[in-house]
């Protein structure tokens, strides 16, 4: 169980336009709720129509800024670019981008085909670059911005049975570092979060067997599972002006696994 609050609120995030990819469930949904609760004008992209609409309604019922849900296949780069253009028209230039969407479906080395490779790279890496590319012009006009890419400790352990996913997550760290230097002169910051085993509903349903949970807890310094909301709180800090001097960095949140 995560420690109880109260937790920090960031006044600098109020009314800022925030986009979260893969925001309908899991860590992404926790991000959407956290930024909305901090007064941000949040939009999120996801393919999961029902989950996305339910999240919007749940947050509307709690009297926070109701987020804008745009159903989008992020592997369709033209559709992604169109979605960002519409968000800009509706809410204004994006000031915070959370490149969260990904898929860690298990796969063996032997079953990887060129088509599987391309699909896995598309869903875990390619869209992050093009989402950043889409928001950077608006951030330049504003004179500020924060891009937060989601990697994973999977490449640091390293994990097995997910070789293409691990490759993509390692590449995100390199992409973060080069983008930080590309756009730093424009006062745009680019950082990366590397979660460990986070107790999302998907993870609990698909992978968190008693044996795997025991393995996780044996490896971690903290003997509890890490919750999605804890990842979201790190993202809030990296998006807020409190971290205005921080860029080009990678932040592990894994309970002390690596």
Residues annotated as catalytic are: 165
Q: Is 125 helix (H, G, I), strand (E, B) or coil?
A: helix
Helix (H) or strand (E) holding 255: none
49: DSSP letter: H
Q: Give which of 102, 103, 35 is closest to 68, Cα–Cα.
A: 35
| Cα–Cα distance list, 20 to 32, 35, 128, 184 (Å) | 7, 10, 11, 21
Size of the chain in residues: 258
CA-derived radius of gyration, the chain = 17
Sequence-ordered alpha helix ranges (H) in the chain = 26-37, 49-61, 77-91, 114-121, 127-142, 163-183, 201-206, 210-219, 228-239
């Amino acid at each position: 169980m995560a420690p109880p609050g109260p937790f920090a609120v960031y006044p600098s995030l109020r009314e800022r336009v925030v986009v979260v990819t893969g925001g309908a469930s899991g860590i992404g949904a926790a991000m959407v709720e956290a930024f909305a609760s901090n007064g941000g004008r949040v939009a999120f992209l996801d393919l999961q129509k029902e989950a996305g609409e339910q999240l919007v309604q749940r947050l509307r019922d709690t009297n926070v800024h109701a987020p804008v849900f745009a159903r989008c296949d992020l592997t369709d780069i033209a559709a992604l670019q169109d979605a960002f253009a519409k968000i800009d028209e509706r809410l204004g230039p994006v000031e915070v981008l959370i490149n969260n969407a990904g898929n860690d479906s298990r796969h063996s080395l032997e079953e990887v085909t060129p088509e599987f490779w391309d699909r896995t790279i598309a869903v875990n890496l390619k869209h992050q670059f093009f989402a950043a590319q889409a928001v950077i012009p608006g951030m330049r006009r504003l004179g500020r911005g924060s891009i937060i890419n989601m990697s994973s400790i999977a490449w640091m352990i390293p994990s097995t049975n997910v070789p293409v996913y691990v490759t993509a997550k390692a590449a995100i760290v390199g992409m973060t570092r080069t983008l930080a230097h590309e756009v730093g002169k424009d006062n745009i910051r680019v950082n990366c979060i590397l979660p460990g085993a986070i107790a999302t509903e998907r993870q609990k349903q698909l992978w968190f067997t008693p044996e795997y949970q025991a393995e996780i807890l044996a490896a971690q310094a903290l003997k509890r599972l890490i919750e999605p909301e804890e990842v979201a709180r790190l993202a809030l800090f990296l998006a807020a002006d409190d971290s205005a001097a921080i860029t080009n960095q990678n932040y592990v949140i894994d309970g002390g696994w690596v």
